[in-house]
């Protein structure tokens, strides 16, 4: 554990013990942003032999981060950032909204091969999702709701960054829910301490079907973020007409996903639910809340952590508790200086509902090194 045990709720510890007790589990690693999840704990890394638990990935398959450093400086930004926020919100649908027509990546200067491959394989997905093809196409390059966001940030040198957080949208959710339900019905899952920890085992048609859909959804999530980032970059350019803006190579990382990796010399299926891969030299993004800043990090390749690190600040209270604890006045105070929504509709995302991001980073100094600390000046929420 990279979280102090006395700071972890007893229900979370019970959930972690249930996971660790599964016969297929080689080991569990606990990140400092750990908190209760459905089935598997958020902020956990699980290495399994010949098995995988779909609930240990969650319903937002492939959820993750995308970020890019720009050539703009804080001095280049207007005093009123409302126009930049409006431009981004106009370019990227948020909440339940989608594009009127599927975005053509070629018009954004992106490689279309991955996009084309996704649609070639759509008909091979399981669970009768063929009717969702049009919706999935129109949702590529959209944000969604909850804790998903797009931000304009400044680093310690006041250089402008773009950063966003999203996943596989409705199609990933539908695939996940169907496979989680199917796993619960399998005979070997009937005596588990928590039926939400149901697993698929290797060399079965159910495992083959899940792996196929899982890896498709992870790729969909990555393409979704890349298109969204390109739309956000274009929106930013439109706010600075007549000026050339340069962008560095984007940083991209999943934090709800499965990967085939070697752990302790053995081939494993490694599930990171609320954790990023932090192999030696791997670049990552670890966001805080909508008013407290984020970090760009580089992995140190810790074998002890299964080469992993935290995915964010992590919640310290549920969404319902946050709404009961705070009001819109608290939200305005805690997001002072940030151009963002400050209404009750995003009250569950108030910074006070999250753990301290600086403490989370400090707790994993053996797992990642800090490349930059970012503070947001614009935050678009779903």
What are the residue numbers of the active site? 311
Instruction: Report CA-CA distances (Å) from 165 to 142, 187, 288, 328.
Output: 11, 37, 11, 24
**What is the DSSP annotation of 285-332?**
EEE--TTT-EEEEEE---TTTTSEEE-SS-BSS-HHHHHHH--HHHHH
> Cα separation of 57 and 134, whole Å?
25
Element (H, E) at 84: helix 82-91
Instruction: Tell me how far apart the alpha carbons of residues 33 and 78 are, in angstroms, rounded to a whole number.
Output: 35
Contact 331, 371 (CB under 8 A): no
Which residues face 47 on adjacent strands?
27, 270
Q: What share of the chain is helix, strand, coil (3-state, %, to 5)?
A: 35, 25, 35
Joined tokens for residue 56? 């240990």
Torsion angle defined by CA atoms of residues 77, 80, 81 and 85, in that order, rounded to the nearest 10 degrees: -140
| DSSP state, residue 49 | S
Residues in the chain: 382
Quote the crossing angle between the two packed helices 205-238 and 82-91, to the nearest 10°: 140
Pull the structure tokens for residue 185.
Answer: 């019905």
Supply the Cα-derived Rg of the chain in whole angstroms: 20
368 Cβ partners below 8 Å, 6+ apart?
278, 284, 286, 297, 298, 299, 300, 309, 361
Q: Which residue has the tokens 């496979």?
A: 179
């Amino acid at each position: 554990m990279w979280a102090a045990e006395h700071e972890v709720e007893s229900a979370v510890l019970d959930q972690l013990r249930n996971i660790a007790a599964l016969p297929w589990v080689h080991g569990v690693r606990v990140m400092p942003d750990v908190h209760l999840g459905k089935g598997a704990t958020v902020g956990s890394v699980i290495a399994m032999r010949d098995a995988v638990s779909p609930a240990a990935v969650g319903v937002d398959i492939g959820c993750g981060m995308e970020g890019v450093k720009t050539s703009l400086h804080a001095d280049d930004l207007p005093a009123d950032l409302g126009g930049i926020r409006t431009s981004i919100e106009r370019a990227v649908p948020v909440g339940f909204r989608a594009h009127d027509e599927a975005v053509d990546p070629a018009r954004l200067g992106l490689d279309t091969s991955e996009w084309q491959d996704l649609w070639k394989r759509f008909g091979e997905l399981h669970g009768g999702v063929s009717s969702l093809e049009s919706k999935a196409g129109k949702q590529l390059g959209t944000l969604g709701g909850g804790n998903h966001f797009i931000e304009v940030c400044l680093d310690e040198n006041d250089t402008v960054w773009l950063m966003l957080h999203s996943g596989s949208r409705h199609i990933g959710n539908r695939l996940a829910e169907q496979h989680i339900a199917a796993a619960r019905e399998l005979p070997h899952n009937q005596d588990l301490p928590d039926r939400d920890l149901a697993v698929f085992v290797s060399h079965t048609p159910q495992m083959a079907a899940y792996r196929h859909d899982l890896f498709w959804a992870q790729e969909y999530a990555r393409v979704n973020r890349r298109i969204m980032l390109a739309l956000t970059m274009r929106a930013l350019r439109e706010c600075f007409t007549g000026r050339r803006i340069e962008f560095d190579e984007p940083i991209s990382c999943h934090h709800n996903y499965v990967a085939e990796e070697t752990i302790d010399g053995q081939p494993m299926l490694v599930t990171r639910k609320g954790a990023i891969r932090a192999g030696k030299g791997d670049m990552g993004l670890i966001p805080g809340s909508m008013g407290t800043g984020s970090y760009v990090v580089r992995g140190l390749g810790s074998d002890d952590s299964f080469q992993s690190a935290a995915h964010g600040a992590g919640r310290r209270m549920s969404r319902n508790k946050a709404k009961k604890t705070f009001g819109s006045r608290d939200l305005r105070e805690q997001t002072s200086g940030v151009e963002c929504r400050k209404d009750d509709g995003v009250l569950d995302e108030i910074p006070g509902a999250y753990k301290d991001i600086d403490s989370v980073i400090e707790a994993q100094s053996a797992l990642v090194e800090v490349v930059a600390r970012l503070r947001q000046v614009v935050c678009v929420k779903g």
